[in-house]
Structure 1
Amino acid sequence: MAKKKIQVELFRSPIATQPRHKLCVKGLGLSKIGQVRELEDTPAVRGMINKVSYMVRVVGE
């Protein structure tokens, strides 16, 4: 059975954010604005996306 994938894009800089939010962005594998990563759709990934929803957007599911 294939696992579901989700695409996440960083559209805002994490420079002036809380240290934990910077770690969430790093944990998602994002480092540059405009970068898109394809990740497995798990509760942990969804939680990180929800925490930094003001910096990332879900491009595709």
Structure 2
Amino acid sequence: MKIKVKLVRGLAGKRKDQIQAVKSLGLKKVNDERILEKNPMVLGNIRKAHHLIQVEEVE
């Protein structure tokens, strides 16, 4: 199963752990999108920065 993550809010003024979570997902700028495998590492990073990103399931 794959998921598409998109950065929808900027990182300025956010906590360091949230910024690291977004960067580990491969997102750098607003509107960046990545398709990633659904695994515990990815899901943990999504949970940490859920208010900054948009998530969709892809087949």
Unaligned runs of 5+ in 1: none
Which deviations, in whole Å up to 9, do the C-alpha atoms of 1:1-59 show, x marking residues without a partner?
xxx21100000001110011100011000001011100110011011001100000103
Structure number with bigger Rg:
1
Counterparts of 1:17-28 in structure 2, within 5 Å, are 17-28=14-25
Establish whether residue 9 from structure 1 lines up as the match of residue 13 from structure 2. Answer: no
TM-score, normalization: structure 1? 0.88
Distance 1:59 1:14 in 2: 21
Counterparts of 1:1-61 in structure 2, within 5 Å, are 4-61=1-58
Distance 2:34 2:13 in 1: 22
Dislocated runs of 4+, deviation >6 Å: none
Identity %, equivalent residues: 34
Unaligned runs of 5+ in 2: none
Give the CA RMSD over aligned residues: 0.9
TM-score, normalization: structure 2? 0.90
